[in-house]
């Protein structure tokens, strides 16, 4: 009788062990925005980890466009007249080389980054326009009217972005990391 009870208990323990669900997996790390637009060491590490996982480099001036694409864009721009600029990019989080100008071509206005534009790669870098003349913090950016213009085409070299009809109300252009809310830098548009 003891052997039967022991066998039933052993079978129950084995059965219980096989039917238990595995321990829950921890949730994926949430994207932590940078306080006031300046990345903390933890945010910088998370950004670098994201970029390594996605295969995006982190060097200053990593080329993403081919030279022929860059030349074609610059040649097309050569037919436009300068409306404003050039105004140098100012560093907020990372070094930025080059300048921003506004040109007009075929009745449309374009924001142009100079041939020598270069900055560090990052996860989902975008170009934003802001009514703030010097958006060097998230507070300044959030206090202004701002609009997403386009994803950054490249972290190096000439590029242009078509401007909206109401572009004149904006006072600066910002290179901004969307997921972490980090301001790379900005250039004045006035």
Domains and CATH numbers, the chain: 84-190 (2.60.40)
Q: Which of 111, 93, 104, 98 is nearest to 150 (CA)?
A: 111
Which stretches within 28-173 are classed as H helix?
41-54, 67-77, 138-143
pLDDT of 83 reads 87
With a cut of 50, say whether residue 127 has pLDDT above it: yes
Whole-number Å distance between alpha carbons of 103 and 44: 35
Q: Which residue has the higher pLDDT, 150 or 38?
A: 150
With a cut of 60, say whether residue 177 has pLDDT above it: yes
User: How large is the average pLDDT for residues 87-103?
Assistant: 96
68-72, 103-107, 127-131, 135-139: which range is least confident on average?
68-72
Contact (CB, 8 A) for 111 and 147: no
Beta strand pairing call for 118-119 and 96-97: antiparallel
Tell me the pTM: 0.67
User: How large is the average pLDDT for residues 85-108?
Assistant: 95
Contact (CB, 8 A) for 31 and 179: yes
Contact (CB, 8 A) for 84 and 188: no
Whole-number Å distance between alpha carbons of 187 and 26: 41
User: How large is the average pLDDT for residues 156-183?
Assistant: 96
Running DSSP on this structure, what letter comes out for residue 167? G
How do residues 75-88 score in pLDDT, each as one tens digit?
A: 655 556 888 889 99
């Amino acid at each position: 009788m003891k052997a039967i009870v022991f066998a039933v208990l052993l079978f129950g323990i084995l059965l219980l062990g096989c039917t238990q669900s595995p321990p829950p997996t921890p949730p994926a790390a949430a994207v932590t925005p940078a306080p006031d637009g300046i990345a903390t060491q933890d945010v910088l590490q998370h950004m670098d980890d994201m970029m390594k996982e996605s295969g995006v480099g982190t060097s200053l001036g990593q080329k993403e466009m081919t030279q022929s694409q860059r030349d074609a864009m610059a040649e097309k721009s050569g037919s436009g007249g300068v409306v404003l600029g050039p105004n140098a990019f100012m560093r907020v989080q990372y070094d930025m080389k080059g300048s921003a100008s506004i040109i007009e071509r075929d009745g449309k206005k374009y924001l142009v980054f100079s041939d020598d534009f270069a900055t560090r790669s990052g996860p989902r870098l975008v170009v934003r326009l802001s009514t703030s003349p010097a958006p060097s913090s998230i507070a300044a950016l959030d206090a202004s009217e701002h609009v997403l213009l386009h994803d950054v085409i490249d972290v190096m070299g000439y590029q242009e972005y078509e401007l909206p009809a109401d572009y004149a109300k904006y006072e600066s252009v910002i290179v901004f990391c969307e997921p972490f809310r980090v301001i790379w830098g900005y250039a004045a548009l006035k």
